[in-house]
Structure 1
């Protein structure tokens, strides 16, 4: 059960008077919708239902999508529920609680880096029974980037080198580690590892990357929606 907030006029721009309560309410709704959408995606890739059932469900999904009316977020607009550049990204395809694509990864600090935990489903499948290699790269890229930001050096990926030691199993709890290993002016060097919860000493995928901290002028050009205080 939820209590709807009063409708606000659609002005075409975010409401500058959004309160902390409003944001919490929206985050809870975004999280709930994301969870149900992930369940729908997983059911979609698992089902062996008849074509008639699939057509009927597709009609229902189209009808539901039509209910998401109102102002649409612009391409470079930072969602008001996000904490950018450091913090939760509600629609991230890796960590976003509101994303139908994300596992999602739960992230915590380890003191010398970050630890992420997730379980990949059939929606992330590459070889039968295992995660897509691109998904492994996305997991590590995300955790590495967040490790940079957590260390006070937010940057953008300029190179990412992956080594695939073993296939990453689906429906198996995983750990993703990332830590900053060095810097050189605006360059930040990071490495990462994916293992299973059951056998953390055996790496499945390892990677090392180089991130670059853009200068303030470049940040303003890339992210025009970011506040001057960020």
Structure 2
């Protein structure tokens, strides 16, 4: 395949695949920008700076935003830096290294399931000092989807029941676990839990969900730009 031009990759259609070296360079740059944006978000929600300073910074951020020129991807367009389905998602709000919203969670295999590790920050706060309940649900939903993919059954969420046993502390290393517990035709049943790394035996949030593996025709209709391997 032809490689995307290195001097302006964002102006090239995503259907033209860049080389592995170009992908690696772009992922490094996206990760670096994501890191700094998360630091900016964290500082923004903590600062007690006076209004004049906030307005001055807002002007600076506006100027920086204007520097991100070139073509912008469409709503359903899959970034060239992603591996979809079943791989790297650079802008995922849960695992994406390039997302200013993500913790970001690191996912690894764990016996019969997968485990995710992250720490929620002040930007994810619900009750003072603790994570927003919706963040817990999002972490579990994401990782339970990873568990389906790890079991060879990529699937989408149909239902998710979350139970909150204790508040989730902010700025504390968390351990999120998920595993497939059964299947029925295209349905996949998954369990998930959140605990702290310091005390993994005590679960603070648990969930069970039902996921469905879409048939090939439905997958093509939902994700027409998904790359397919021969």
Q: Quote the offset at 1:88 in angstroms.
A: 1.3
1:46 has 2:57 as partner: no
The match for 2:124 is 124
Alignment of 1:173-212 (within 5 A): 173-212=173-212
Structure 1 gap ranges (5+): none
| Structure 1 residues 9-49: Cα deviation after superposition (integer angstroms, max 9, x where no partner) | 76561262511000000000000000000000000000000
Q: Give distance in 1, aligned partners of 2:76 and 2:15.
A: 17
Q: Which range moved further: 94-103 or 219-228?
A: 219-228
The alignment's TM-score, normalised by the length of structure 1, stands at: 0.95
Whether 1:214 and 2:191 are equivalent positions in the alignment is no
2:8 alignment partner, SS class: coil
Unpaired stretches in structure 2, ≥5 consecutive residues: none
- Are the structure 2 counterparts of residues 150 and 46 from structure 1 closer, same or farther at C-alpha, using a change threshold of 3 Å? same
Map 1:156-175 → 2, pairs under 5 A: 156-175=156-175
User: What value does the CA root-mean-square deviation take over the aligned residues?
Assistant: 1.4
Alpha-carbon offset, residue 65 of structure 1: 0.5
State the 1:8 CA deviation.
Answer: 3.3
Provide the TM-score with structure 2 as the length reference: 0.95
Residues 132-160 of structure 1 deviation map (CA, whole Å, 9 limit, x = unaligned): 00000000000000110111100000000
Q: For the residues of structure 1 that align with 2:120 and 2:165, how far apart are their CA atoms?
A: 18
> 2:14–2:78: 8 Å Cα contact kept in structure 1?
no
Alignment of 1:1-230 (within 5 A): 6-8=6-8, 13-14=13-14, 16-229=16-229
Deviating 4+ runs (over 3 angstroms): 8-12
Offset of residue 101 of structure 1: 0.1
Against the structure 1 CA distance between its residues 208 and 10, is the aligned structure 2 distance closer, same or farther, given a 3 Å change threshold? closer
Cα distance in 2 for residues equivalent to 1:101 and 1:116? 16
Could you tell me how far apart the structure 1 residues matched to 2:223 and 2:23 are? 21
Q: Aligned partners of 2:104 and 2:9: how far apart in 1?
A: 32
Answer yes or no: is the 8 Å Cα contact 2:130–2:169 preserved in 1. Answer: yes
Question: C-alpha deviations, 1:190-216, integer Å up to 9, x for none?
Answer: 000000011111110000000000001
C-alpha distance in structure 2 between counterparts of 1:181 and 1:193, whole Å:
13
Give aligned pairs, total: 226
CA positional deviation for 1:105: 0.3
User: Compared with structure 1, are the counterparts of its residues 58 and 69 closer, same or farther at alpha carbon in structure 2 (3 Å cutoff)?
Assistant: same
Q: Distance in 1 between matches of 2:80 and 2:13?
A: 11
